[in-house]
């Protein structure tokens, strides 16, 4: 069966439908001998007779009926595939998968909601993971695009910035350093903050990379009291007074606004980075994915959480 062709199946189907080789030849604009030759070749490949003469003309044998039905299914599937491919060629429809680092989950749904309002025909899937996971999804083509806060080192990836991304050090509102700073109004030296217990994200996260880089630049070792795998857990632990943490300002905007967390004013902070949308350079984007890429670059900054950090903002 591996050498059976769609052309042979169409010839067989036409003979069965019309009831004769002559009628099939007229329908297909071919000669009857040409059709007969292909049907005989198909019979040799199958090893069974496919048509037989009976009342009213040529009829399918049981084997012929199976092949004719298979031919109809193949044609239907290909027609459906052609329709789906045409959909993919149309920017107003299709499907796109976005990967996002966990820090971006605080705004990514709002970006996608705004995109879907502008492009209601496009279906969207959102996958959340740490930075290493998201990069792996990009490389394996599990996601079309990704948003993250630290540029990938891989040369085969293309990244474009779409908004400022500040990293700040947070503490509980009643932490002694918060109280001291409120009293003096002066920024703290990093050496003073570095003596505190630090709550850190796991290795592989963008936040942990920033933390390690910050301490390495200062020539100090962080006093890591606990490693936690989510920003939410870090926020709760800081609120409970278990230590301080370096974290994306966009993950704590709500807690800062309602006074559950405080940002320490520290010399050299915030760390000012960019939010990035990333894709594999060698991947040809579908119209839907290209639409999302352009939307994120042009519009996503408007969906970033508003920060009330006073002087600690990225310009």
Q: In this structure, what CATH number is given to the domain that contains residue 72?
A: 1.10.10.10
Residue 60 lies in a domain: yes
Same domain, 158 and 278: yes
**pLDDT at residue 205, rounded to an integer:** 87
| Domain shared by 154 and 285, yes or no | yes
Q: Which residues contact 270 (CB under 8 A, 6 or more apart)?
A: 166, 167, 168, 249, 309, 312, 313, 314
Question: Both 256 and 210 in a single domain?
Answer: yes
Q: Say if 308 falls within a structural domain.
A: no
Whole-number pLDDT of residue 308 = 66
Residues 6 or more apart in contact with residue 107 via CB below 8 angstroms: 250, 300, 303, 304, 305
Positive or negative CA dihedral for 283, 287, 289, 292? positive
My answer on whether 141 and 154 are in the same domain is yes
pTM above 0.75, yes or no: no
The answer on 115 and 101 residing in a single domain is yes
The last residue of one of the domains, among 51, 70, 88, is 88
Give domain status of residue 260, yes or no.
Answer: yes
Please indicate, yes or no, whether residues 83 and 17 belong to a single structural domain of this protein. Answer: yes
Please tell me whether residues 153 and 239 are part of one structural domain: no
Q: Domain boundary residue among 55, 88, 121?
A: 88
Closest CA to 303 of 140, 30, 112: 112
Residue 311 included in any domain:
no
The pLDDT profile of the chain, 315 residues, written as one tens digit per residue, is 677 889 999 999 999 989 999 999 999 999 999 999 999 999 999 899 999 988 878 889 999 899 999 888 888 788 777 766 776 666 577 889 999 999 999 999 999 999 999 999 899 999 999 999 999 999 999 999 999 998 888 779 999 999 999 999 999 999 999 999 999 999 999 999 999 999 999 998 889 999 999 999 999 999 999 999 899 999 999 999 999 999 999 999 999 999 999 999 999 999 999 999 999 998 888 889 999 999 999 999 999 998 765 545 565
Give the Cα separation of 249 and 244 in Å (integer): 14
Q: Are residues 55 and 200 in the same domain?
A: no
Helix (H, G, I), strand (E, B) or coil at 101: strand
Both 115 and 234 in one domain: the answer is no
Considering the domain architecture, whether residues 82 and 30 belong to the same structural domain is answered as yes
Cβ contact 58:11 at 8 Å:
no
The count of structural domains within the chain is 3
**Is 269 found in the same domain as 171?**
yes
- Residue 313 in any domain: the answer is no
Based on the domain organization, do 178 and 240 belong to the same domain? yes
CATH number of the domain to which 267 belongs: 3.40.190.10
CB 147 within 8 A of CB 279: no
The parent domain of residue 245 ranges over 164-273
Cβ–Cβ < 8 Å for 178, 171: yes
Tokens 């405080």 found at: 262
């Amino acid at each position: 069966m591996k050498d059976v062709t769609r052309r042979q199946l169409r010839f067989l189907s036409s003979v069965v439908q019309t009831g004769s080789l002559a009628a099939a030849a007229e329908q297909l604009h071919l000669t009857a001998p040409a059709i007969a030759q292909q049907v005989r070749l198909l019979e040799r490949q199958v090893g069974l007779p496919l048509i037989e003469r009976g009342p009213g003309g040529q009829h399918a044998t049981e084997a012929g009926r199976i092949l004719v039905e298979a031919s109809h299914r193949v044609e239907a599937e290909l027609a459906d595939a052609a329709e789906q491919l045409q959909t993919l060629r149309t920017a107003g429809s299709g499907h796109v998968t976005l990967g996002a680092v966990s820090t971006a989950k605080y705004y990514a749904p709002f970006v996608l909601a705004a995109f879907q309002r502008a492009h209601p025909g496009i279906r969207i899937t959102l996958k959340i993971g740490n930075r290493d996971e998201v990069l792996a999804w990009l490389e394996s083509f599990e996601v079309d695009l990704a948003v993250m806060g630290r540029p990938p080192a891989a040369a085969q990836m293309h990244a474009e910035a779409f908004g400022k991304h500040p990293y700040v050090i947070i503490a509980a509102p009643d932490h002694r350093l918060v109280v001291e700073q409120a009293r003096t109004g002066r920024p703290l030296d990093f050496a003073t903050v570095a003596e505190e217990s630090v709550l850190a994200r796991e290795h592989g996260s963008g936040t942990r990379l920033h933390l390690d880089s910050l301490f390495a630049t200062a020539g100090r070792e962080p006093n890591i009291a606990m490693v936690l795998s989510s920003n939410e857990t870090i926020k709760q632990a800081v609120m409970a007074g278990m230590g301080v943490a370096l974290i994306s300002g966009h993950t704590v905007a709500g807690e800062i606004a309602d006074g559950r967390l405080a940002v320490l004013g520290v010399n050299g902070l915030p760390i000012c980075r960019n939010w990035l949308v990333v894709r594999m350079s060698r991947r040809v984007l579908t119209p839907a994915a290209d639409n999302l890429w352009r939307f994120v670059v042009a519009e996503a900054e408007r969906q970033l959480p508003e920060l009330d950090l006073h002087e600690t903002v990225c310009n």
